[in-house]
Amino acid sequence: MENHASFQDYAIVACGTLNLELNYLKGSGFLDTRKILYTKPGRHEVPRELESQLIRQLGTAKKYASKIIVVYGGKFCYVNADNPYRRIDTIIQEQEEPGVKISRIKATHCVDMLASAEERDKISQGKDIYWLTPGWMKYRHYVYQGWDKGLANENFPKHTGGAIMLDAIGFYDGIMENKPEEILEFSDWMGIPIEPYRISLVRLKRLLSDEIE
């Protein structure tokens, strides 16, 4: 994995929820891309806003590179209730033009970018888990925009195994050290315990590398 191909000819457009992991990869020297552009976190709750932000950031990315990698999931990140046939890949294809190549990493959503379904099965050990990433907690006011305690009660407690945060960057430990009340408040709002599970960024690195021509 260390002898990876370079991203120097590429720009990246990603959901802001993943900026912690992507900025970590940039800081480590792995992601030597020309530019990383982010959309506002948690826009899966507001598909129309997600679409307009994605289009705008893809337009900006074209100014930096003719090859663009989109870091968004294909199944859960964009669901258009008004037009179910309109997928995130439809939006991406519409932004392609002569001389510009846009591809999307092969994952269903951000949790899947950090741990595959098989890896999550091993971690959960058969329990019904609500999966979190550090970004889901950091940007919870965007991710759960419009949610009240009633909606939280409908959704979270049915995950009887609690919540597991897939943490590759030491986010959970940092919060517990500096602002433990934030974890406690978030857990209390969800109505389930939150536990960290330390992972590596090997899967995310591989998914990104797979999009290099």
Per-residue pLDDT tens over the stretch 27-80? 999 999 989 999 888 755 567 777 888 899 999 999 999 999 999 886 656 556
What are phi and psi for residue 102, nearest 5 degrees?
Answer: -120, 130
pLDDT (0 to 100) of residue 79: 59
pLDDT (0 to 100) of residue 1: 43
Tokens of 81: 């209730």
pLDDT (0 to 100) of residue 84: 66
The number of distinct structural domains making up the chain is 2
| 8 Å CB contact between 135 and 186 | no
Kindly state whether residues 103 and 136 are assigned to the same domain. Answer: no
For 63, the domain range is: 10-109+201-210
**Residue 1: inside a domain, yes or no?**
no
Tokens of 99: 């001389």
Kindly state whether residues 52 and 127 are assigned to the same domain. Answer: no
Kindly state whether residues 27 and 81 are assigned to the same domain. Answer: yes
Kindly state whether residues 135 and 190 are assigned to the same domain. Answer: yes
Kindly state whether residues 192 and 146 are assigned to the same domain. Answer: yes
- What's the pTM? 0.89
Q: Is the pLDDT of residue 141 over 60?
A: yes
**Residue 2: inside a domain, yes or no?**
no
pLDDT (0 to 100) of residue 40: 83
Q: Is the pLDDT of residue 205 over 90?
A: yes
Kindly state whether residues 167 and 148 are assigned to the same domain. Answer: yes
The alpha carbon dihedral of 42, 44, 48, 52 has a sign of positive
For the sheet with 101-104, list strands across it. 35-39, 10-15, 67-71, 101-104
Kindly state whether residues 122 and 194 are assigned to the same domain. Answer: yes
What is the percent of the chain with per-residue pLDDT over 70, rounded to a whole number? Answer: 89
Separation of CA 207 from chain center:
13
The neighbouring-strand residues paired with 15 are 39
**Residue 172: inside a domain, yes or no?**
yes
What mean pLDDT is reported for the chain? Answer: 89
* Mean pLDDT value across residues 201-210: 96
In this prediction, residue 114 has a pLDDT band, given cuts at 50, 70 and 90, of: very high
CA–CA–CA angle 52, 56, 59 (5° rounding) = 145
pLDDT (0 to 100) of residue 64: 95
| 8 Å CB contact between 164 and 175 | no
Kindly state whether residues 206 and 101 are assigned to the same domain. Answer: yes
pLDDT (0 to 100) of residue 89: 82
With b for 16 or more beta-carbon neighbours within 10 A and e for fewer, the 83-114 pattern comes to: eeeebbeebbeebeeeeeebbbbebebbbbbb
| CATH number of the domain that residue 19 is part of | 3.40.50
Kindly state whether residues 119 and 67 are assigned to the same domain. Answer: no
Find the Cα–Cα–Cα–Cα dihedral 51, 54, 55, 58, rounded to 10°. -160
